[in-house]
């Protein structure tokens, strides 16, 4: 079965190449070859699952590469800002840069809002092809059919989950688009959520748990269903599903992996390349698969996570107190072997700081209760500081500079921009992925499977559900499952508020969760429930004017949405007067939702796509359509 699916995938790539090749006469000559077409690709479940496997594989793409699309989720949050300070393109001054006609879909400026929009719609398009073709497919039995249908539902819902929390009200497309269409209409996000609920309940019932790593599991469907339940205020349903998931996926609480002796603690075990491939790992629920040796046949794409998350120590900016360049990518190999200096490139990675952590993530969340936390800044195996790095530039040795082999000291005259990009702490255990294939070149982050979902997050979602139900004791119990494993002090009901839940998510899920989406989801839930927010003196949020008053504006008043209030309190860059030589870090209330690209609004001549409030064009908005919970919405 697996060989057949791989063959069909390769054949599909070959066909695409042929279609994009110029039509020479030799190509037109008939040859006795077998060509893949939709008519013979989708004749059975295996062919449909092959196409869905491509969608599953694409889930990893946003986490991989220089300035990956995932970094957008971090810089629109409390955890990070864009650390690229040597050019004017990266998204930092939201008030000036984040416009409906801007294009943030390239590696130099980071794959940001535009990339997220385009990629999610692409995967919805491909998934709809599979779902639409099912009516012409022969299945062995009803269970096989429902497995394919459930897997397709999950893929489509995963993309809509991102769209409705990044862009708000969006069109809902549930048919295969077989001809140029310009008749799409904005749909209400709440009705899309209710539709997603129905489809994910079906998927959770029919998608099997035991599948090859990298494919959709029953528990993955359950995790996404939990998030939809929580968004709709159905916390009891979310708790029921969450308890079922953690029963099947207990946390890894003991040292494991074949290379555990090479790691200093359990957190390194859990986030090592080996752990994410280890069949004994019960914690992982859904993976994006990429392996150094391409053993699974899914490719060996490189994460480049160290480039994205580690300070730029090798840019001739970090000087010794004597004023000389401190670090080199290629140090003296004999001195490295003797322990005089370290190979910073291979030990930590060649960082360029596409994301720069805030003081909240580096310091605030690590309190006395986290003194023994394996995940935190007090554990110098797990977290590293620039002060831990040892000056290793061979030129220092040649000049008999006394700072050669000494620990780094922050230059007193370092500029604000250089400090942003070149001097901060980072969770080494979380972002270190070796890259032996790079040899002596720059180690930016090698190939590795990644966690897309794991059960630690499920415990944290259970804690949040109990918070919304005012059961703070049980919320503490759920947080403590994760905290106990990490070695942190246990919490009591008196410690629990939404801030502590978000703190714990930051400690556990950095570079895993969609942090911006989490904050947006919580902002909507406060507005939906009317629950007073205790960390803002009982402030009550409303759905009306959630992104500020109608019309385009750069409003910075508190009280409109939780997302803006929380970031204003915890991100020490935005709206604090912090500048680099190209931009000041700013954001406004309406940036909770990103602008719908104008290119798609203008091209949609026979329908109407709304612009989000706060951006130019929102004055033309109309009432969004309602998506039915069942049945086809769009006409073929």
Q: Encode pLDDT of 55-113 as tens digits.
A: 999 999 999 999 888 999 999 999 999 999 999 889 999 999 999 998 776 656 555 67
For residue 488, give the nearest of 365, 384, 383 by alpha carbon: 365
Question: What confidence score (pLDDT) does residue 115 get?
Answer: 82
**Whole-number percent of the chain with pLDDT over 90:** 85
For residue 158, give the nearest of 257, 21, 61, 41 by alpha carbon: 61
Question: What confidence score (pLDDT) does residue 43 get?
Answer: 86
Query: How many angstroms separate the CA atoms of 546 and 519, rounded?
Result: 13
Question: What confidence score (pLDDT) does residue 293 get?
Answer: 72
Task: Give yes or no for residue 34 having a pLDDT over 70.
Answer: no
> What residue spans of 29-110 are helical by DSSP H?
38-41, 45-58, 71-75, 94-97
Query: How many angstroms separate the CA atoms of 541 and 561, rounded?
Result: 6
CB 116 within 8 A of CB 69: yes
pLDDT digit string, tens, across residues 619-636: 999 999 999 999 999 998
pLDDT digit string, tens, across residues 538-574: 999 999 999 999 888 899 999 999 999 999 999 999 9
Task: Give yes or no for residue 38 having a pLDDT over 70.
Answer: no
Query: How many angstroms separate the CA atoms of 207 and 200, rounded?
Result: 10
Query: How many angstroms separate the CA atoms of 247 and 213, rounded?
Result: 19
Task: Give yes or no for residue 26 having a pLDDT over 90.
Answer: no
Please, what is the average pLDDT of the chain?
91
Residues, the chain, total?
A: 636
Pick the CATH number of 35-207+530-635 from 3.80.10.10, 3.30.365.10, 3.40.50.720, 1.25.40.390: 1.25.40.390
Query: How many angstroms separate the CA atoms of 358 and 79, rounded?
Result: 5
- Which of 31-35, 57-61, 295-299 is the most confident on average? 57-61
pLDDT digit string, tens, across residues 333-387: 999 999 999 999 999 999 999 999 999 999 999 999 999 999 999 999 999 999 9
DSSP 478-533: HHHHHHHHHTPPPP-GGG-SHHHHHHHHHHHHTTTS-HHHHHHHHHHHHHHH---B
Segments making up each domain of the chain, as ranges: 35-207+530-635, 305-448
CA terminus-to-terminus distance, the chain:
33
């Amino acid at each position: 079965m697996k060989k057949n699916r791989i063959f069909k995938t390769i054949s599909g790539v070959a066909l695409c190449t042929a279609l994009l090749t110029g039509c020479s006469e030799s190509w037109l000559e008939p040859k006795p070859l077998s060509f893949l077409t939709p008519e013979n690709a989708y004749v059975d479940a295996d062919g449909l699952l092959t196409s869905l496997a491509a969608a599953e594989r694409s889930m990893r793409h946003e986490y991989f590469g220089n300035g990956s699309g995932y970094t957008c989720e971090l810089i629109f949050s409390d955890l990070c800002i864009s650390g690229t300070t040597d050019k004017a393109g990266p998204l930092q001054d939201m008030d000036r840069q984040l416009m409906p006609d801007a294009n943030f879909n390239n590696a130099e400026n980071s794959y940001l809002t535009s990339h997220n929009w385009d990629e999610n719609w692409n995967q919805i398009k491909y998934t709809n092809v599979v779902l639409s073709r099912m009516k012409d497919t022969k299945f062995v039995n009803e269970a096989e059919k429902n497995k394919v249908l459930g897997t397709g539902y999950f893929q489509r819902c995963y993309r809509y989950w991102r769209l409705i929390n990044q862009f708000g009200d969006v069109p809902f497309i549930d048919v295969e688009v077989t001809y140029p269409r310009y008749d799409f209409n904005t749909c209400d996000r709440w009705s899309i959520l209710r539709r997603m609920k129905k489809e994910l309940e079906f998927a959770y019932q029919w998608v099997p748990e035991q599948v090859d790593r990298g494919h959709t599991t029953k528990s993955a469907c359950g995790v996404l269903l939990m998030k939809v339940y929580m968004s709709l205020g159905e916390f009891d349903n979310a708790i029921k599903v969450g308890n079922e998931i953690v029963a099947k996926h207990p946390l890894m609480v003991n040292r494991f992996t074949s290379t555990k002796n090479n790691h200093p603690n359990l957190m390194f075990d859990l986030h090592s390349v080996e752990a994410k491939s280890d069949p004994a790992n019960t914690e992982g629920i859904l993976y994006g698969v990429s392996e150094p040796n391409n053993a699974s046949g899914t490719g060996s794409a490189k994460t480049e996570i160290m480039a994205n998350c580690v300070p730029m120590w090798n840019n001739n900016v970090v000087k010794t107190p004597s004023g000389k360049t401190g670090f080199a990518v290629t140090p003296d190999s004999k001195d490295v072997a003797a322990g005089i200096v370290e190979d910073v490139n291979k030990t930590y990675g060649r960082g360029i700081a596409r994301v720069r952590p805030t003081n909240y993530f580096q310091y605030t969340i690590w309190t006395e209760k986290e003194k023994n936390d394996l995940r935190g800044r007090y554990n110098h195996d797990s977290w590293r500081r620039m002060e831990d790095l040892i000056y290793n530039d061979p030129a220092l040795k040649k000049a008999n500079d006394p700072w050669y082999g000494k620990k780094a000291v922050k230059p007193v005259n370092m500029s604000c921009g250089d400090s942003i990009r070149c001097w901060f702490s980072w969770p080494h255990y979380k972002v270190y992925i070796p890259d032996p294939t790079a040899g002596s070149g720059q180690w930016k982050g090698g190939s590795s499977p990644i966690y897309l979902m794991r059960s630690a997050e499920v415990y944290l979602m259970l804690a949040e559900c109990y918070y919304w139900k005012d059961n703070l004791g049980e919320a503490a119990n759920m947080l403590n499952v994760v905290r106990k494993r990490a070695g942190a002090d246990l919490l009591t009901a008196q410690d629990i508020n939404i801030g502590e839940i978000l703190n714990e998510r930051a400690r556990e899920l950095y570079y895993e969760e969609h942090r911006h989406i989490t904050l947006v989801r919580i902002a909507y839930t406060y507005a939906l429930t009317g629950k007073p927010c205790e960390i803002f003196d009982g402030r009550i949020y409303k759905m009306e004017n959630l992104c500020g008053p109608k019309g385009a504006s750069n409003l910075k008043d508190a009280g409109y949405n939780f997302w803006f209030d929380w970031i204003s309190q915890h991100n020490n860059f935005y709206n604090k007067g912090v500048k680099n030589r190209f931009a000041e870090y700013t954001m406004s209330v309406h940036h909770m939702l990103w602008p719908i690209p104008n290119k798609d609004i203008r091209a949609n001549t026979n329908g109407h796509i709304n612009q989000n409030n706060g951006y130019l064009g929102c004055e033309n908005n109309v009432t969004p359509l309602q998506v039915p919970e069942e049945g086809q919405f769009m006409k073929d």
